[in-house]
């Protein structure tokens, strides 16, 4: 929406028992990438292309967050058919991120319901 101020993206997300650091860096050039996640023994971090905004930023942020969720809740060895970083994980994560944005965009009452329901429980 023209004139609507972009909400501020958080620098850290709590995923399971971990703090996932988010950084905005140039990724589009030379890697031609919009977002990445890094999994290391001491944690997970996410990098997002610094020029992203609006729905593209939201969708990419959700995409990388879903990778972090998979690594946090489905550690290696328990992922059944999913292997970290493989094409199957990529396809699921991409479909869920794209689909969730569409479902929330086209069903704002549902987004409000989910938000209020979670707030009530916390």
Residues at the interface with Zn ion (CB under 5 A): 90
Rounded to 10°, the helix 108-121/87-106 angle is: 100
**Nearest approach, Cβ of residue 119 and Zn ion (Å):** 29
**Nearest approach, Cβ of residue 64 and Zn ion (Å):** 7
Shortest-Cβ-distance residue relative to Zn ion: 90
What phi-psi label fits residue 83: left (phi over 0), alpha (psi between -120 and 50 degrees) or beta?
beta
**Nearest approach, Cβ of residue 93 and Zn ion (Å):** 5
Nearer CB in complex with Zn ion: 102/107: 102
Nearer CB in complex with Zn ion: 31/90: 90
**Which DSSP string do the residues of 25-75 spell out, in sequence order?**
E--TTTT--SEEEEEETTEEEEEEETT--HHHHHHHHHHHHHHHHHHHHS-
**Nearest approach, Cβ of residue 36 and Zn ion (Å):** 8
Nearer CB in complex with Zn ion: 53/90: 90
Nearer CB in complex with Zn ion: 88/103: 88
- Which residues fall within 8 angstroms of residue 37, CB to CB, at 6 or more apart? 44, 45, 46, 47, 64, 67, 68, 71
């Amino acid at each position: 929406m023209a004139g609507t101020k972009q909400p501020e993206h958080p620098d850290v997300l709590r995923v399971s028992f971990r703090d996932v650091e988010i950084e905005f860096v140039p990724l589009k050039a030379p890697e031609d990438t919009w977002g990445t996640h890094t999994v290391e023994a001491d944690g997970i971090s996410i990098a997002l292309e610094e020029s992203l905004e609006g729905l593209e930023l939201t969708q990419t942020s959700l995409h990388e967050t879903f990778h972090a969720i998979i690594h946090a809740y489905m550690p290696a060895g328990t992922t059944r058919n999913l292997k970290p970083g493989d094409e199957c994980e990529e396809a699921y994560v991409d479909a869920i991120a794209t689909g969730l944005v569409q479902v929330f965009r086209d069903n704002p009452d549902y987004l409000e319901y989910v938000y209020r329901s979670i707030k009530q429980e916390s």
